[in-house]
């Protein structure tokens, strides 16, 4: 059984953040957040919360459209992967110091 506090209802999030359910569905369709449905209620995990809030800030405060947000999201993920790779390579180089 799904623990209630590990997931956020999309409707509740929308009310508290001033966005529409349709906007959240669009984020899901763009692959920006994962939404799932259980018993006719839509949820996303707590792990997605900061990502969703960041996207809303980009969209609302900076007036960036979803296509732009998708590009920004992809670039940030690439940066994270590259930072992980650099960290790993640095650790490997320490062996030779």
CATH 1.10.1660.10 fits 4-94, yes or no: yes
Mean pLDDT of the chain: 91
**What residue has token string 């969703």?**
52
Integer CA distances (angstroms), 62 to 11, 16, 97, in order: 24, 20, 46
Q: Is the pLDDT of residue 1 over 60?
A: no
Q: What is the mean pLDDT of residues 27-31?
A: 93
């Amino acid at each position: 059984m799904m623990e209630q506090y590990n997931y956020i209802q999309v409707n509740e999030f929308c009310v508290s953040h001033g966005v529409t359910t349709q906007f959240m569905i669009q984020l899901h369709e763009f692959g920006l957040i994962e939404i799932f449905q259980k018993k006719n209620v839509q949820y996303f995990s707590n792990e997605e919360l900061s990502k969703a809030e960041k996207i809303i800030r980009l969209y609302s405060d900076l007036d960036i459209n979803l296509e732009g947000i998708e590009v920004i999201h992809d670039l940030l993920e690439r940066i994270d992967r590259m930072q992980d790779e650099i960290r790993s390579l640095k650790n490997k180089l320490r062996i030779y110091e």
